[in-house]
Structure 1
Amino acid sequence: MSKPDFRLFPNVLIGEGTEVGDFCVLGQPAKGRAPGQDRLSIGPDGVIRSHTVIYAGSSIGARVQTGHAALIRENTRIGDDCSIGSGCVVEFAVVIGDRVRLHTQVFVPEYSVLEDDCWLGPRVVLTNARFPASRRAKDTLQGVHIRRFARVGANATLLPGVVIGAGALVGAGAVVTKDVPADTVVVGNPARPLGRVSELEDEGGLVYADAARPTVAASRHHPAR
C-alpha cells in the first residue's frame, strides 16, 4: 500500500496491494458513532483514488477501484472486482454484488440492491423516496433492485421499488416507473418495452462485451451476496 496524504480513522483494515490516493478519508464515522466504533474493511489489490470518502461500517471486496471523489456511506457491502466511478454516491445500507460497474456520477440511494455483473452508465439515478413530501418519507423508503447482467444506459432514472430483471437493458435517458421483466429492452419516458435483449444482434460480442450471455432462467432469482 502506498502512503500518500489521506485521513485514516481507527479500525480500518486495508488489504495488501491496495493503493490509496491523496486526500481520501477512510473510516469516516456515521452520525452518532464514535471514531473506530465500526470497522471499515477494504480488500486487497484495489485502487482508491484521490478525494474518495468511505464510511466506517462498510465492507469493500477485492480489486475494487474507485474514481476520484467517490462517496460510499456506512453499512454498505460491495463485492469483488467492482468499479465505482468518479463522483458516484453510494448511500448507506446498499448491497452491490461482484463485477458491478458504476460509471461517472451514478447515484445509488439507501436500500438498493445491485446483483452481480450489473452495468450502470454515466449519471444514472436510482431513487427510493416514494412519498418525498411526507413527514414520514424516511419510513417508506424503498430501494431499486437490479438483477444480474442488467444494463442501464446513461442518464436513466429508476423510480423507488422498481425491479430491473436479469439481463434487461434500459435505454439512455429512460424513466423507469414499473418493473422491467428479464431479458427486456425498455426505452422512453415513461419507459416502455421495445423488444428482447436475446433477440438483439450480437456480432463480435458488442451487446454483452466481456460478460457471457446470461442464462436468464437461471439468474432471475439470484440474490446479491
Structure 2
Amino acid sequence: MLENYIVKKGAKIGKNVSIGHNSLIYSDVIIQENTRIGPNCIIGHPSKATILNSKKLDPKLQKRLLTSKTVIGKNSIIRSGTIIYSNVKLGNNCNTGHNAVIREHTKIGNNCIIGTNVVLNGFTKIGNFTRINTTCALPQSTIIGKGVFLAPLVAFSDNKNVVMGNGNEAPIIKDYVRLGVGTIVLPNITIGRGSLVGSGSVVTKDIPSMSICYGNPAIIKSKISKNELIKYKMSVEH
C-alpha cells in the first residue's frame, strides 16, 4: 500500500528515508538518510512571524536565530503527530515521542530524546545525549546542556510576574543535571553542572554545581560525588 504524504518542492530527502501516511514536509527541509517520519507529522511548519509577515522580535531572542533550513539528522525517528517548525536543527540519532512540538529556532544535539507530548516553545538550545521525557514544557530561550535528564512533567517558567510582553528569561540547565518528576524551575535560574533535583521540587534560586536538592522551595541537602557523576555520565553516553 502506497503511503499518502506530501513533500513540497525544494525539500531534500536522503537515502532510505520513510515518511508515514498523511505527513507534510515543507520545502525548506532536509531529512538525512535512514530517518523515519511517522504518520501525521509536519516538518518545517512556518512560524507565527512568517505567517503574519512580522519582523518584530524580542532583542533577547535575536542571538538565538537560526538561518539554516530545518534539518532532521541521520538515523532519527520522528513519531506520529510530531510537529517540527522552520529553522530547527535536530541532530543525528534523535527520537521524538508521539505529538511532540518543537518550535522555530531550536537547536538539538545528537542522541537526544524528546518525549511524547513535550513542547519546546522555540529559540531553545539542547546539548547532546539529553533526554526530555513525557509532557515537559519548556519556554522560549531555554538553554539545556549535554547529558541532561528531565523526568516527566518538568516545567520551566520565563516570566516571573506573568506580564504580557515580558519574559524570555528561561532557566539555564548545565551539563549532566537530573530533574525529578514534576520539578518546576522559575525564571532566570541556573542549575549547575551535575546537580540532582528531587521530584516535586520548586527551584527558586540558583543551584551550585554537584548539588543534591529537593523541596518547595528546593534546598541543598548534600553534594554529588565525582564517582557518582562519572557513573551517570557513562550511563547516558554509552
Identify the residue that residue 159 of structure 1 maps to in structure 2.
Answer: 186
Among residues 196, 202, 225, which one is paired with 1:175 in the alignment? 202
- Name the TM-score, length of structure 2 as normaliser: 0.81
Distance 1:127-1:140 versus aligned 2 partners, 3 A rule: closer
Deviation at 1:4, TM superposition (A): 1.6
Deviation at 1:208, TM superposition (A): 5.5
Please tell me whether the aligned partners of residues 142 and 160 of structure 1 are also in contact (alpha carbons under 8 angstroms): yes
* 2:153 corresponds to 1:123: yes
Cα distance per residue 1:147-203 (max 9 Å; x no partner): 01110001010000110000000000000000000000111000001101118x95x
Among residues 6, 26, 32, which one is paired with 1:9 in the alignment? 26
Identity %: 32
Q: How far apart are the structure 1 equivalents of 2:118 and 2:165? A: 22
Q: How far apart are the structure 1 equivalents of 2:19 and 2:184? A: 39
1:39-58 matches, within 5 Å, as 39-58=69-88
Letter of the structure 2 residue corresponding to residue 172 of structure 1: S
Deviation at 1:64, TM superposition (A): 0.8
Cα distance per residue 1:12-53 (max 9 Å; x no partner): 10010010000001010001316xx97211111000000000
* 2:46 corresponds to 1:29: yes
* 2:115 corresponds to 1:85: yes
Q: How far apart are the structure 1 equivalents of 2:190 and 2:109? A: 20
Identify the residue that residue 18 of structure 1 maps to in structure 2.
Answer: 35
Distance 1:149-1:32 versus aligned 2 partners, 3 A rule: closer
- Name the TM-score, length of structure 1 as normaliser: 0.85
* 2:209 corresponds to 1:145: no
Give the number of aligned pairs.
203
Q: Which stretches of structure 1, 4 residues or longer, exceed 2 Å deviation after superposition?
A: 137-141
Letter of the structure 2 residue corresponding to residue 84 of structure 1: I
Distance 1:138-1:38 versus aligned 2 partners, 3 A rule: farther
Secondary structure at 2:175's aligned position in 1? coil
State the Cα RMSD in Å: 1.8
Q: Which runs of 5+ in 1 are unaligned?
A: 213-225
Among residues 102, 108, 130, which one is paired with 1:72 in the alignment? 102
Q: Which runs of 5+ in 2 are unaligned?
A: 1-16, 52-66
Deviation at 1:11, TM superposition (A): 1.2
Identify the residue that residue 198 of structure 1 maps to in structure 2.
Answer: 225
Distance 1:209-1:121 versus aligned 2 partners, 3 A rule: farther
Q: More deviation in 110-119 or 1-10?
A: 1-10
* 2:235 corresponds to 1:210: yes
Q: How far apart are the structure 1 equivalents of 2:168 and 2:114? A: 23
